[in-house]
Amino acid sequence: MSEPPTFGWLTRYAPLVDDLSAFLEAAARPLPRVIWSNPLRAPVAETEAELRAVFPALQPVPWRAHAWRLPADARFAGSRLHLAGRFYGQEEAAIFAGDLVDARPGERVADLCAAPGGKAAQMAVAMGDRGTLVANDRKVGRLNALRRTLDRLGVTCGVVTSGDALRMVAPEGWFDRVLADVPCTCEGTTRKARSRTEPTDERYRASVVQIQTAILRKALRLVRPGGTVIYATCTYAPEENEGVLHAIHPSLAAIEPIDVPAGLRVSPGVDAWAGRSYRADVVNAARLWPHHNDTGGFFVARLRRL
Q: What is the pLDDT of residue 5?
A: 60
The total of other beta-carbon atoms located within 10 Å of residue 242's CB is: 27
Q: What is the CATH number of domain 18-31+92-305?
A: 3.40.50.150
Phi, psi of 18 (to 5 degrees): -80, -25
Show the CA angle centred on residue 245, arms to residues 209 and 280, nearest 5°: 140
In the chain, where the domains are located: 18-31+92-305
SS (HEC) of 41-77: CCCHHHHHHHHHHHCCCCEECCCCCCEEEECCCCCCC
Distance CA 236, CA 138 (A): 23
Q: Is 113 a catalytic residue?
A: no
| Candidates 113, 157, 184, 234; catalytic one | 234
Angle subtended by helix axes 92-100 and 118-126, to nearest 10:
40
Phi, psi of 163 (to 5 degrees): 165, 165
- pLDDT tens per residue across all 306 residues of the chain: 444 567 889 999 999 999 999 999 999 999 999 999 999 999 999 999 999 999 999 999 999 999 999 999 999 988 999 999 999 999 999 999 999 999 999 999 999 999 999 999 999 999 999 999 999 999 888 899 999 999 999 999 999 999 999 999 999 999 999 999 999 999 999 998 767 778 999 999 999 999 999 999 999 999 999 999 999 999 999 999 999 999 999 999 999 999 999 999 999 999 999 999 999 999 999 999 999 999 999 999 999 999
Q: What is the pLDDT of residue 2?
A: 46
